[in-house]
Structure 1
Amino acid sequence: MDRAPKSSVRTGLLIAGIAAAAYPLLLRRWCLTWGATAEEAESALPGDELLPDPGLVATRAVAIDAPPGAVWPWLVQMGSGRGGAYTYDWIENLFSLDMHSANEILPQFQNLKTGDVLPLGTTGPRMRAEIMEPEQALVFRSEDGNWVWAFVLRSDGETTRLISRNRIAAPDAGPLGRLVNLLIMEPGSLIMERKMLLGMKERAERLARTG
């Protein structure tokens, strides 16, 4: 009677073990550089100097068939209680982040300035706008200095590359904490950020079409 459940448990543990071994070797770089070219992943971007020695760097990107002017408004209105993050709101709000992704430009949130602080919910980190170069770069840094999140726009005149780079200080959390970060937090961040980048792509392209 107990053989089938025990066999299932062993199979599950074997699959988990294979995944744990394969991810760092085969999938981690793809996870941390989804959508980015090798040049984008390796080049210096605005904001790198704000956290020069991070424990983790993730550079992800998407190509948008719209000029930077159609992308920028969606970036500056991001945040809790503002335009949201264009990702899975229901997941964000499990952590009380008050994210409600807007489908239109919100004029009341278009006046973001360097030095403005945006909270991520009531308990999340407070992010300060450190660099603002309209239609080129928007960089946030957490008030504790452990997280820098940069958005960079590069255009060839027809399309725009939206590059997102996270630089995160990773204090030693012990073996279990490092394993959780490696196998859960990193892939989880890809799921959320991929949705965010594609969400901004869809919104910016629609804005460009409709003017």
Structure 2
Amino acid sequence: MNTGWILAAGAVAAAAAVGYQRNLRQPILNWGATDDEVAATLPGDELLPDPDGVSTRAITILARPEYVYPWLAQMGPTPRGGAYTYDWIENLLGLHMHSTDVVLDEFQHPQIGDEIGLGPNKMRVEIAEQNHAFATRSADGNWVWAFTLIDRHDGTTRLISRNRFRLPRLIDRIGMLPMEPGSLIMEHKMLHGIRDRAETLAGTGSHVT
């Protein structure tokens, strides 16, 4: 490939990156969330101050928080409840996820300090406030994944998922850009999976206390 083609390819790649940053990145990072939710300080933010990146995604669930929290409390690889997303993709990465449609009583009372393995990542439970908030932080401190449940007092819940991450190396920052659209695909499926399970659970009238 001659120098002209290399320069042209570089220019196209740079233009695509700029276009993504300006037009697509924020809708991808903040799918489903209102401007107020994106700007809000939420439980778990204090666990990773001054992050290099933040995503805030949200969904409305037609069920009270007590029907939503059980699915968060038990998330994780087998024997936990899975991630309610595309298991086959998760398992291609060796994560051993098998999403269940039932509440697993033995995982309903997570404690601060509990570890949940996500492949090479060891996530430590940092917040476990029943029916309100659940957050984990990676062993290296570079990733915090937090869920907030907002009781809207009309029988519905806003479930907000926030990822905060630190990218200490240039290669990490470059590698994150193509991962962001993929993360939306997985998290979109996860949020809908939690919604459907919570609404079904609410329909049965049973929940964990």
Q: So what's the TM-score if we normalise by structure 2?
A: 0.88
Residue number among 135, 138, 141 corresponding to 2:134 in the alignment: 138
User: Which residues of structure 2 form unaligned runs of 5+?
Assistant: 1-8
| 1:99 paired residue among 97, 101, 108 | 97
Could you tell me how far apart the structure 2 residues matched to 1:187 and 1:14 are? 22
**Distance across 2 between alignment mates of 1:88 and 1:66:** 23
Shift of 1:19: 4.3
1:202 is aligned to 2:202: no
Given candidates 49, 54, 57, the residue that maps to 1:52 is 49
Counterpart selection for 1:126 from 99, 122, 128: 122
1:71 counterpart = 2:68: yes
Shift in alpha-carbon separation, 1:196–1:171, aligned structure 2, 3 A: same
SS class of match (1:26): helix
Matches within 5 A, 1:157-176: 157=153, 158-174=155-171
1:78-93 pair list within 5 angstroms: 78-81=75-78, 82-93=80-91
Letter of the structure 1 residue corresponding to residue 141 of structure 2: G
Q: CA deviation at 1:17?
A: 6.7
CA–CA distance in 1 between the matches of 2:175 and 2:128? 34
Q: Secondary structure at the match of 1:115?
A: coil
User: Match for 1:190 among 184, 187, 196?
Assistant: 184
User: CA RMSD for the aligned pairs?
Assistant: 1.8
Structure 1 residue 105, shift from structure 2 partner: 0.8
Name the CA distance, whole Å, in 2 between partners of 1:15 and 1:210. Answer: 54
Question: Residue 112 of structure 1: which of 110, 125, 145 is its match?
Answer: 110
- Structure 1 unpaired stretches of 5+: 1-11
Match of 2:194, as an amino acid?
Answer: M
CA distance in 2, matches of 1:179, 1:117: 29
Q: Which amino acid aligns with 1:31?
A: I
SS at 2:181 equivalent = helix
Question: What is the aligned length?
Answer: 195
Q: Aligned in 2, Cα 1:15/1:173: closer, same or farther, shift over 3 Å? A: closer
Structure 1 position 172, deviation (Å): 2.2
Shift of 1:107: 1.3
Counterpart CA distance in 2 for 1:63 and 1:14 is 41
Give the Cα separation in 2 of the matches to 1:112 and 1:48: 20
Structure 2 residue matching 1:73: 3-state secondary structure: helix
SS in 2 for 1:72: helix
Deviations, residues 12-54 of structure 1 (Å, cap 9, x unaligned): 9998776434211101010110000101101101111111011
* Deviation per residue, 1:59-100 (Å, 9 max, x gap): 000000000000011000000111000000011011100000
2:165 aligned partner, one-letter code: I
User: Partners of 2:57 and 2:167 in 1: how far apart?
Assistant: 19
